[in-house]
Amino acid sequence: MDTKNKLLTSAERLFDQQGFNATSMDQLTEAAQMSSRTLYKHAGGKTGLVKQVLSARDKRFLQMIDVQSIDDLFEALKTWTRTEGARGCLFLRAYGETGSNTPEITDIVLSHKAAFHAQVARLVTGTIGPDHPNLGTLTAQILVLIEGSTAAAIYQGEDAITAAHQAASTLIAQASA
């Protein structure tokens, strides 16, 4: 793997496991197996690194949820949790740690959530049709369910995703009736 990818991959893992502020540049350089000089050449600094890690994760996450049905979406979330663990939404965690003091990071978080919402809307539309009167409502409800399963999975594991999936199925069936 090239230098940049090794940096972003190892940094994402550390940020996710320990938090952003609790992860030092020393830990980041050691995990990426490169000198701090090289790290700064590539990332510019810690804030730059956080931004690039979030952007990379945004891309990866959107690819993961680029599926064809709500069922597949929850299945993808379960696989993600199995392989990467469940420590909550990394974007909201970044927002919470910087307290919105870093507008560039807030922008990344908000645009990620907008893209996420758009994809859920796409899948719900594909399920109940574009003209269903409850399209917006149902989309908002399923988005909350996914957000909730991400949070609850921290302390409940995969069961939280199962519960959210079941709830989503019930809501969809009810709307389709």
Partner DNA sequence: ATAAATGTAAAACGAACGTTTTACTTTTGT
Partner DNA sequence: ACAAAAGTAAAACGTTCGTTTTACATTTAT
By CB under 7 A, name the binding residues for DNA.
3, 21, 23-26, 33-38, 40-42, 45-47
118 touching a copy of itself, by CB under 8 A = no
Per CB under 8 A, the segment of 48-56, 60-68, 75-83, 141-149 that binds a copy of itself is 141-149
In angstroms, give the least distance from the CB of 148 to a copy of itself.
2
Q: How far apart are CA 22 and CA 174, in angstroms?
A: 45
Q: How far apart are CA 87 and CA 85, in angstroms?
A: 7
> How far, CA to CA in Å, does 52 sit from each of 8, 12, 30, 60?
7, 9, 18, 12
Residue 34 interacts, among a copy of itself, DNA, none and using kind-specific CB cut-offs from 5 to 8 Å, with: DNA
Q: How far apart are CA 119 and CA 123, in angstroms?
A: 6
Q: Which is nearer to a copy of itself, 52 or 139 (CB)?
A: 139
Q: How far apart are CA 11 and CA 17, in angstroms?
A: 10
* Binding residues among 66-95 for a copy of itself as defined by CB under 8 A: 87-89, 92-93, 95
Question: In the chain, how long is the greatest CA-to-CA distance?
Answer: 61
Q: How far apart are CA 40 and CA 59, in angstroms?
A: 23
* Binding residues among 3-22 for a copy of itself as defined by CB under 8 A: 17-19, 21-22
Q: Which is nearer to DNA, 19 or 88 (CB)?
A: 19
What is the SS3 assignment for 122-149? HHHHHHHCCCCCCHHHHHHHHHHHHHHH
Applying CB under 8 A, the residues found at the interface with a copy of itself are 17-19, 21-22, 87-89, 92-93, 95-99, 101, 109-110, 113, 137, 140-141, 143-152, 154-156, 159-160, 163-164, 166-167, 170-171, 174
